[in-house]
Structure 1
Amino acid sequence: MAVGRRVFLGAFTAGAVTVATGTEAAAEGEYTDYAAPANFWSTSTTAYTVTINCAATSGTASALNVTSQNPATSAMNLSGTETARGTLKISHVGYADGSDAGASGLSIDLKTQGTAAQGIFVTATQGPTTGSLIVLRNNPGVDDFVVKGSGRTGIGVGRGDKPLAQLHVVQRSDAPAALLLEGAARLADVDTEPTNAPADRGGGSLYAQNGALYWKGSSGVPTRLAPA
Structure 2
Amino acid sequence: MIDHVRDLASVREATDRFLSAAGKLGDAAVAAPSRLPGWTRGHVMAHVARNADALVNVLAGRPMYASAESRDGDIARDAGRPLDAHLADLRESAARLSAQAALPADWTRTVVMRNGVTDRAARVPFRRWIELELHLVDLDAGYELEDLPEEFTGREIAFLAERWSARPGIPAVTLVADDGRSWRTGGTAEGGPVTVTGSPAGLLAWLAGRGDKGAALDAGGAPLPVLPPL
Structure 2 length as normaliser, TM-score?
0.26
Which has more helix, going by share of residues?
2
Q: Kindly name which structure, 1 or 2, has the bigger radius of gyration based on alpha carbons.
A: 1
Query: Going by fraction, where is strand more abundant, 1 or 2?
Result: 1
- TM-score for both structures, normalised by structure 1: 0.26
Query: Higher relative CO (CA 8 A, sep ≥ 6), structure 1 or 2?
Result: 2
